[in-house]
Amino acid sequence: MNMIARSLMSALALTTVVVQPALAQSAPPPAKAAFNWEVKDGQVVRKATDVRRTDNSDGSWREESKEGSCSKTVEHGKDGSIKTTRAC
């Protein structure tokens, strides 16, 4: 019994020694291209975006945003339908 426990402990130690460097060499996740927050007056706040959203009383909404020289409109109906329109 003691011999089995020792062999299991050494196998576990060997696995830890082999796996740990492999995990340490993995690449870090890529950085985000743009931050969605900024610091103003010592407070962390969301960045102002040029997205305008209009909510209707029936639960539908319309969202207009600028992407470079193009504009994008997303309409979400009360029945759950989504319509996306891009105009350049």
Task: Give dist(CA 24, CA 44) in Å, integer.
Answer: 32
Asked whether the predicted pLDDT for residue 65 surpasses 70, the reply is: yes
pTM score, whole prediction: 0.43
Q: Quick: pLDDT tens for 15-52.
A: 655 555 555 566 666 555 566 677 888 888 776 667 78
Torsion of CA 30, 36, 39, 43, to 10 degrees: -120
Confidence of residue 81 (pLDDT cuts 50, 70, 90): very high
Structure tokens at 48: 């102002």
- Alpha helices (runs of H) in the chain, residue ranges in sequence order: 2-24
Whose tokens are 């979400």? That residue is 76
Q: What is the DSSP letter of 19?
A: H
Task: Give dist(CA 69, CA 72) in Å, integer.
Answer: 10
pLDDT for res 83 = 95
pLDDT for res 24 = 59
pLDDT for res 68 = 74
- Residue (of 79, 42, 85) closest to 60 by Cα position: 79
